[in-house]
Chain A
Amino acid sequence: MTTGADAIAIRARGLTRRFGKLVAVDHVDLEVPAKRVYGFLGPNGSGKSTTIRMLCGLLTPSAGEIEVLGLRIPAQADELRPHIGYMTQKFSLFEDLSVCENLEFLAAIQGVPKAKTKARIDALIGQYHFGDRQKQLAGTLSGGQKQRLALACAVIHEPELLFLDEPTSAVDPESRRDFWEKLFELADAGTTLLVSTHLMDEAERCHRLAILDRGALVADGTPHELTAQLEGRTFIVETADPRRAQRALDGVPGVLGVAQVGNTLRVLTAAGAGDVTQRMGQALAAAAQKAEVAPAPPNLEDVFVAATRKGDGDGERAA
């Protein structure tokens, strides 16, 4: 089950999951390279957790094929389990056990050799900064501390493949940096990581990422590839009254999205929208707005907006 340098750790084809009428995951094709950090970017309810659950064999797909570390899932899910670590979105450790007791429990369950358990737990307590709260009950930890403990427990048996479902949702920006440092260390050590998030700055750090929207995979590639596709389609509008300018721009054909960023507006235009800059200028003039329109380098947020508003108006999207 060892995977080569540029091997594929996870392969899914036509992956679909229905809950009654709702299609939570809709024909998703995935290829996750080994020993990399692969990001899952998507808004609430886009099917990130459902996809992860299917990939680790916890949910049976309604349709589609999955191969993880060369094993067919869900048929061979039992063989897969010793090789994966899974950090759930909701805190799933035992709140009435202490930090240490949770680690001991998982070490035993995951089959960390008895002789090595003590050293492994000590190392994790050091690495994850639990030195002064080993005896504290997990339930009384702060949100960010809980997620740190959950990560420590997920990696205790040094799995080949880690599924992390929104691992930093409660972590402050400073500690998040530390958290991601750990993820890259793991990737360097040969672990494949699949991390779901709805934070752009996190997505930017991933080696590769997939963008999910309403169950469908709408874009995937390296962050660089994804932003490069939008070259020439993003603009910054500087104006005295951004709110009025935004209203003026909203209806312009070819404009996919207008977002206020401080005192400026960030505008994303559709591919092949022709003279969209000219039309924007006209619309602003019509609204008696003095404005400066300048091209800007695209970022992942633009990729996200472009991908999720391809094909349809923005009316359907529920926040």
Chain B
Amino acid sequence: MNWRRLWAIVVKELRQLRRDRITLAMVVGIPVFQLVLFGYAINTNLRGLDVGIVDQANTAGSRALVLDMLATGVVAPVARADTPQELMAMIRRGRISIGIVVPPDFERRRIDGRAVAQVLVDGSDTAVQGAAAQLMQVPIDSAVPDTRAPLTSTPASGRISVVGFYNPQRRSAVNIVPGLIGVILTMTMVLFTAIAIVRERERGNMELLIATPLTSAELMVGKVLPYVAIGLVQTSVILALGTWLFEVPIRGSVLDVYLASGLLILANLALGLLISTRAQSQFQAMQMTFFVFLPSILLSGFMFPFAGMPKLVQWLAEVLPLTHFLRLIRGVMLRGAGLGEMWGDVLALAAFVLVMMALAILRFRKRLD
């Protein structure tokens, strides 16, 4: 890696970009436009949410209530805990999205007609809140043998209280904006680099470049670096607009937000480069970009809840950088979690960057054939 050559590529890219007014306008235009467009959310029902349970009463009645809630299919148990505090920590870490708390005085409350259980909800995902509402429909009286007929019993609304964390007003923008950072970065970043190398091939510049001592790694890294800066500018635009227009909170550290964004930017740029080494024309590069972009939007959990998808699709979604980024950014911005608490997703993104970059460099041949 020769630093002077690398730097020459970076400067060249920046100079070309500076003269490309339309692309420059898009750098700021796309985030602003998308942000306003996606200001409102799409809610859907979902099933199989990860739930944690604290049954402090542990009576026959409380156990039956919990079983009834599980029987709705909305939630699937993954953890048990002893205190509500433990559940809250799990929600914070993203291990569960719903917590069910049955207090020690369950039996008394049932008789008194007070709220018998509490459902803790990760409000950073609006869809989860929708699901929690379904849990509230579990009829309390069917949970214990009673005089009233089980099937006609009144819904328990009001008797199971829902406590939303992190997004108490259930505003969609709060949930959408962090995800939008990921979507916009995925859309623009992949395309930038996917076109970058193909364009030079089409214009004939590549024949000149490969006849010089420039190495594949210098060319690839030099092409990526300027766009990292552009990606961070876009991130800032969305963050600024999001806080200003929609009062989206940043509960975690701003540094973590940028670190996570940086990782996603690199992942998408590297993916774009790989596309670039394959595509024969700019049009092909665009097509391949959309081949990746659509699944990212649909499967990552941005558009539809991740938990609602079949297992196979979930595995597929784990390959997409946006999936991991969404978990990170929602964790940091809405739940105030640190990247360290979600190191699995951080590692997944980093691995993606390394693999894609290595593939792009290896696949790029300094040959015309």
Contacts and interface: CB of A to CB of B under 8 A. Distances in A.
A88 B204 contact: yes
Given A60-B367, A93-B205, A108-B5, A81 B15 contact: no
A86 B12 CA distance: 20
Interface stretch (A109-117, A186-194, A195-203, A271-279): A109-117
Contacts of B145: none
Given A59-B368, A97-B15, A114-B4, A92 B213 contact: no
A57 B210 CA distance: 9
Interface of B: 2, 4-5, 7-8, 11-12, 15-16, 19-20, 203-214, 366-369
A77 B225 CA distance: 28
A109 B214 contact: yes
A109 B210 CA distance: 11
5 contacts: A86-B208, A91-B204, A92-B207, A108-B4, A109-B5
B15 A92 contact: no
Contacts of B210: 58
B217 to A, nearest CB: 13
A93 B208 contact: yes
Contact of A110 (B203, B212, B369): B212
Interface in A108-129: 108-111, 114
Contacts of A88: 204, 207-208
Nearest to B203: A95
A92 B204 contact: yes
Given A59-B369, A60-B369, A105 B12 contact: yes
Interface in A88-103: 88, 90-97, 101
Given A53-B368, A101-B15, A92 B208 contact: yes
Given A60-B369, A109-B212, 16 more contacts: A58-B211, A59-B368, A77-B366, A78-B366, A90-B204, A91-B204, A92-B203, A92-B205, A92-B207, A92-B208, A93-B205, A96-B16, A105-B8, A106-B212, A109-B213, A111-B4
A210 interface: no
A64 interface: no
Nearest to A86: B211
B208 A58 contact: no
Contact of B211 (A56, A101, A105): A56
A207 to B, nearest CB: 24
Q: Top 3 closest A-B pairs, CB basis?
A: A108-B8, A92-B208, A86-B211
Contacts of A114: 4
A139 B301 CA distance: 45
A96 B19 contact: yes
Nearest to A97: B15
A86 to B, nearest CB: 4
A306 interface: no
A93 B16 CA distance: 12
Nearest to B8: A108
A43 B368 CA distance: 22
B367 A58 contact: yes
Nearest to B12: A105
A229 to B, nearest CB: 36
Contacts of A59: 367-369
A254 interface: no
Interface string A208-228: 000000000000000000000
Contacts of B204: 88, 90-92
A140 to B, nearest CB: 12
A82 interface: yes
B132 to A, nearest CB: 55
- Of B7, B12, B206, which is in contact with the most chain A CB atoms at under 10 Å from its CB? B12
B208 A108 contact: no
Contacts of A96: 15-16, 19-20
A25 interface: no
Contacts of A77: 366
A57 B211 CA distance: 8
B369 A81 contact: no
Contacts of A74: 367
- Of A58, A78, A106, which is in contact with the most chain B CB atoms at under 10 Å from its CB? A58
Contacts of B206: 92
A164 interface: no
- Of A81, A104, A108, which is in contact with the most chain B CB atoms at under 10 Å from its CB? A108
